[in-house]
Structure 1
C-alpha cells in the first residue's frame, strides 16, 4: 500500500501546471550568474507567503512546513550557452542560451512537489533549494553551503534528481557511494629558452618538452591507479608560440582530472606534478603546475539509498544500482556536509545532455517529480 497516498494524489493534480511552467522556463533561460528572472518565475509559481531567504546572489531557499529538521530538495536555475535547435514552439527566446541540461524540467518538477506538500502537508518540513551557477565556477552549491542558510533552516538531508538520457524512461539510478567524480582543472607551464628555429641547439624548446609531457600523462591513470578505480587525466588545450620560425620561451597545457575517490584524486594531483617536472627537466626546461579545485566526489548516503529505492519501486519505477559517472555535479558540496542522495532519472529521449536538440518530454517531468517526492519522503524516514 502506498505511503502518504494523499501526497502522491496531490502531486498528480499539480503535474499539468508543472508541464506549462516547464515550457515557460524553457523559453526564457538564463545563463549562470544571471538567473534572477528564472528565480522570480519559480517563486511566482509557488503558493504565496512562504518564508524565503535569497542566497548566493541569484538563488533562494524556500521553507514549506513548520519548525524542526527539514529535508532539502535542489533545483538548478541556470541554462547553458547553447543555441537551441529543437524547433519546438516554446524554444528559447534568448538566442545562444538554452536549457540543454534539463534544469527547466528539474525546476518544474520541484514546484509540483512543493505545491503538493504545501497543500496536504508532509512528514517533515521541505526546503526548496533554488541553486544558481551549477554549470560554472564559482559553484552556487558551494556558496549556499558556506552561507550557513542550511544550518539555520536545520536541513538534515539533501535530495537531488537529474534527467539522464543514458537510462531508459521509467528507470531511476539510486546508487550508494561515489556516483559522480571530483573535477579539477590543471595548467602546466613549461619554461625554456627561446630562439631561432634554425638553431635549435641554442634553445631549450618548451614545445618539445610539453609534447612529451602530454604523452607521458596518458600513462598516469593506467600505471598509477587501480584498474578498478575510475579516473581520468585529460589534456584538452595547448598553447605555444606565434611564429613558425621561432622557438617560444613558454608552452602551456590545460586539462582535467576526474576521480571517484578522494585518495585517487590526491594521487593524480601528485603524479601530474611529478611527470610535468621530471619530463621538463629532461629537456632542460622547468615546469610549473597549478590546479583549480572544483567539485569533490559526490557520495550518496547508503541509508537514503535504501529508503528511497523502496519508495521508487512501490510507485512503479525501476531502480538501477549500477550507474556511476566521471561527470561532475556541484551537488557534491551538499553531500560533503549532509546526508545526501542524487538520483538519475531516465528519459524518453536518447539525445545527449548539453546537445542543442536535448528536449525531455512531459512524461520526463512527471517521472522526475515522482523521483523527487520519493527522495523527500525517504529522507523524512531516514532522518
Structure 2
C-alpha cells in the first residue's frame, strides 16, 4: 500500500531528527535505503556507489519505456542550531534541516512508494543527492560518471520548498528560477609598518577599502540595469593591533547572477579592478573564484512549458508563476547537462529558509506528491 499522508509526515519527522552535513549523510542514507526496501521490489532497483557513498539511486523500470525521467532529492542539512521546541527537533547539536531537505526526501519517497506499486510506463530514476548545501554533490555525481547507461536520465526534475508561498502551492517559471553563485576570496599583500610612519608602509586596509568600493560600482555602473547581478563581501580580516599598519588583508564574498554569462562578466570586472589597484598601490592582489556546481537553475523551455501547462490546468493543483530568486542551488549544474525543470513547493514557514526557526507546514508534503505524481502520469502519456 502506498504511503499515506500520515506515513509521510512521520517519515519527514524521522528525517528531521537526524540531520547530517554534506557528504556525512550516513544515517540518512541508511534510513532511506531501509524505508525503500519495504516497498514492493518487482520493478525497483536500489543502487549505491563506493565513489560517493551517501548517494542513492532508485530506479523504477517502466513497462514500455520511451525515456528515463530523473528526479533529484537533496539529503544534507545545515550547520544551524534549531530553536523550534518540537519532540522531533534535531538530535544533532548545531545541525538542522533548515532548508527543508527532509521534506524534499519525503516527497521523493511518496512518489517511489506509489510507482513501486503502480508500474510507470517510462523508467524513473530517483537521485538522493548528498552535499547540496556545500561540496557540490550534483557536480560530483556527474563528474564521477554516475549518470551513465541505464542511470542516465533523458530529463531531470526537482523541487525546493518555499517559506513565502502558501502551503501546497506549486511555483515555477520558464527561464531562470535560481541564480548561480560563485565564492570570491581576495588576498591583498601590502607592507606593514608603524602607524606613525605610514609613508614607510603600504596599508592593506586602505587598499581593501578601495577594492570593496570599486567592486560595488560594477553592479551600479557596468551592468545593464534591467539585468541582475549581486556582489556581497561578508567577511574582511586585516591587522593585529590599532597602531600597526596592516600588511595583509583578506576579503571573502559571493557573486550571484541569473545566467552564467553574467557571473563570468562580473568575475572579469573584479579581476580588472584588482589589476588596476595593484598598479596604483604598488601591491599584490590574489583573487580566487570557486563556483563548483552552483550554476544558475535555468529551466528547459519545452519541458517547463509542459510542466506549467499541466499544473495550471489541473483543478486539484494550486499553481503560481514565480519571479527569479537570487538564492543558489547546485541542481543548476545538472540542468546544464540534462534538460529539466525545478519548481517550488509552498510550505508557509514562519521562519525563513536557513533560519533557526524554519518550520514548514507538513500538509505540503502530500500536495507535492500528488501534484508531481499527476505530472509524471501526464508526461508519460506524451
Query: TM-score scaled to structure 2, two decimals?
Result: 0.92
235-244 or 347-356: bigger deviation: 347-356
1:27 aligns with one of 17, 24, 37: 17
Whether the 8 Å CA contact 1:165–1:353 is kept in 2: the answer is yes
User: Is 1:142 the equivalent of 2:139?
Assistant: yes
Structure 1 CA distance, aligned partners of 2:133 and 2:279? Answer: 37
**Partner of 1:100 in structure 2?**
98
Structure 1 CA distance, aligned partners of 2:362 and 2:264? Answer: 42
Structure 1 CA distance, aligned partners of 2:265 and 2:133? Answer: 26
Structure 2 CA distance, aligned partners of 1:379 and 1:324? Answer: 25
**Runs of 4 or more consecutive aligned structure 1 residues displaced over 4 Å after TM superposition:** none
Structure 2 CA distance, aligned partners of 1:66 and 1:322? Answer: 33
**Partner of 1:124 in structure 2?**
122
**Partner of 1:236 in structure 2?**
234
Whether the 8 Å CA contact 2:46–2:58 is kept in 1: the answer is yes
Q: Pick closer, same or farther for the CA change 1:339–1:379 going to 2, 3 Å.
A: farther
Structure 1 CA distance, aligned partners of 2:199 and 2:152? Answer: 67
- Supply the RMSD in Å over aligned alpha carbons: 1.8
Cα deviation digits, residues 311-357 of structure 1 (max 9, x gap): 32315223222321111101111101111110111113242001111
1:39 aligns with one of 13, 29, 34: 29
153-162 or 42-51: bigger deviation: 42-51
CA-CA distance at 1:281 after TM superposition? 2.6
CA-CA distance at 1:263 after TM superposition? 1.6
CA-CA distance at 1:155 after TM superposition? 1.1
Which 5+ residue runs of structure 2 have no aligned equivalent? none
Structure 2 CA distance, aligned partners of 1:373 and 1:65? Answer: 16
CA-CA distance at 1:66 after TM superposition? 4.0
2:161 aligns with one of 160, 163, 175: 163
Whether the 8 Å CA contact 2:132–2:138 is kept in 1: the answer is yes
Q: Pick closer, same or farther for the CA change 1:315–1:148 going to 2, 3 Å.
A: farther
Q: Pick closer, same or farther for the CA change 1:315–1:126 going to 2, 3 Å.
A: farther
Cα deviation digits, residues 282-314 of structure 1 (max 9, x gap): 223232211112311111012122222233231
Structure 1 CA distance, aligned partners of 2:319 and 2:336? Answer: 24
Query: TM-score scaled to structure 1, two decimals?
Result: 0.92
**Partner of 1:4 in structure 2?**
none
**Partner of 1:60 in structure 2?**
56
Cα deviation digits, residues 127-182 of structure 1 (max 9, x gap): 11010001112x11111112323232231111101110122224222211111111
Structure 2 CA distance, aligned partners of 1:374 and 1:175? Answer: 19
**Partner of 1:258 in structure 2?**
256
Q: Secondary structure of 1:101's match?
A: coil
Q: Secondary structure of 1:62's match?
A: strand
**Partner of 2:325 in structure 1?**
325
Cα deviation digits, residues 214-257 of structure 1 (max 9, x gap): 11111111111111111111111111111222112221111111
63-72 or 115-124: bigger deviation: 63-72
**Partner of 1:302 in structure 2?**
301
Q: Secondary structure of 1:23's match?
A: helix
Task: Work out the number of aligned pairs and report it.
Answer: 371
**Partner of 1:181 in structure 2?**
179
CA-CA distance at 1:206 after TM superposition? 1.5
**Partner of 1:3 in structure 2?**
none
Structure 2 CA distance, aligned partners of 1:134 and 1:376? Answer: 24
Whether the 8 Å CA contact 2:62–2:119 is kept in 1: the answer is no
Which 5+ residue runs of structure 1 have no aligned equivalent? 1-9
Q: Secondary structure of 1:51's match?
A: strand
